[in-house]
Amino acid sequence: PSPTPSRARDLLDSGYERIVTSLGGDGAVLVTADRALYADAPAVEVVDTVGAGDSLFAGVLSALDRGESESEALRTGVAVASAVVGTTGTTPPRLDALDRDRIAVGPAPAPAE
């Protein structure tokens, strides 16, 4: 599937400012009216996926709340989710302990026609 959700534009048109979609082990996308960003998930040993999606969104929202760019917010969200799946349970990682440098963020590929 394309990393740019086909439904994202419809949701934006209905009033949402940003759409964040988890792609599981394939990363995540953040779509706005102006652009679509894609972050690849780093390779991690998956122990438990419970709470991974919630952790992604918590990381994105936390970064945006701190005034970080959308690119950095997506990078933070993927870093948080990647840390969570590497442990048992749903204890969130410390933000200052995240390895964000290994997560590339760039334009999302165009959806397949």
User: Which pLDDT tens digit goes with each residue over 4-56?
Assistant: 556 788 888 889 999 999 999 999 999 998 889 999 999 999 998 988 999 99
Mean pLDDT lowest for which of 42-46, 51-55, 62-66, 85-89? 85-89
The reply to whether 99 belongs to the active site is: no
Instruction: Identify whether 112 is part of a domain.
Output: no
CA atoms within 13 A on the CB side of 107: 5
Amino acid at 58: A
Instruction: Write down the catalytic residue from 54, 65, 96, 101.
Output: 54
pLDDT score of 111: 58
* CATH code where residue 63 lies: 3.40.1190.20
Which uninterrupted H or E stretch holds 37? strand 36-39
How sure is the predictor about 89, in pLDDT bands with cuts at 50, 70 and 90?
confident
Tally the domains of the chain: 1
pLDDT score of 71: 95
Instruction: Identify whether 3 is part of a domain.
Output: no
Amino acid at 68: E
Instruction: Identify whether 2 is part of a domain.
Output: no
